[in-house]
Amino acid sequence: MHVRQEVFDDRAGVYAVAHAAFASGDQTIEPVEVGLLQNLFDCPQYDPDFSMIALDEEAVIGHVIASWGSVGGNYPLLGLGPLAVAPEYQQRGVGSILMQAIHDRAKERGLPGIVLLGHIDYYRRFGYEPAVSHGILPSDPEWGDHFMVKVLDADKLPVGPYRYAAPFGC
């Protein structure tokens, strides 16, 4: 397995992985995450530096993306998601490797942190903690502690309300 930046020609594989990872019992219904990815790839907040794929030989087996949002409307900050791993590769470290790759990219660029909305127990193991405790407020207060931040540079981390990239609709 190896990880690299996603390119346009990878998109069919990215969509297939997202479909498989997020599908409900009915495989004919497209998961909302697939449409979200399509919209993220087409929006101005998409940054190819923060769209990473995991490959097994030549097939895409996982994908993670972080797009630009803002804190207080003035301070750019990445919002991570979705993270998808093909079901047959789950529980094998693919998600962890993708998360590390995106964190490494963010550190290389000197970013202060990354926010996400997700499962508390899953993302805590990557160093995410409630964003509110760091002064970053969710678009929807009902998200509570599920809105989290990975602090990369506490001295530069902005505070205020967070707004995701436009395709998230919040």
Q: What is the pLDDT of residues 119-146, one digit of tens each?
A: 999 999 999 999 999 999 999 999 999 9
Number of domains in the chain: 1
Instruction: List pLDDT tens digits, range 43-60.
Output: 999 999 999 999 998 899
The answer to whether residue 118 is domain-embedded is yes
Report the interhelical angle of 32-41 vs 11-22 (nearest 10°): 150
The answer to whether residue 130 is domain-embedded is yes
The answer to whether residue 170 is domain-embedded is no
Lowest mean pLDDT among 22-31, 47-56, 97-106: 22-31
The answer to whether residue 7 is domain-embedded is yes
The answer to whether residue 101 is domain-embedded is yes
Q: What CATH number should be reported for the domain holding residue 75?
A: 3.40.630.30
Range of the domain at 102: 2-163
The answer to whether residue 169 is domain-embedded is no
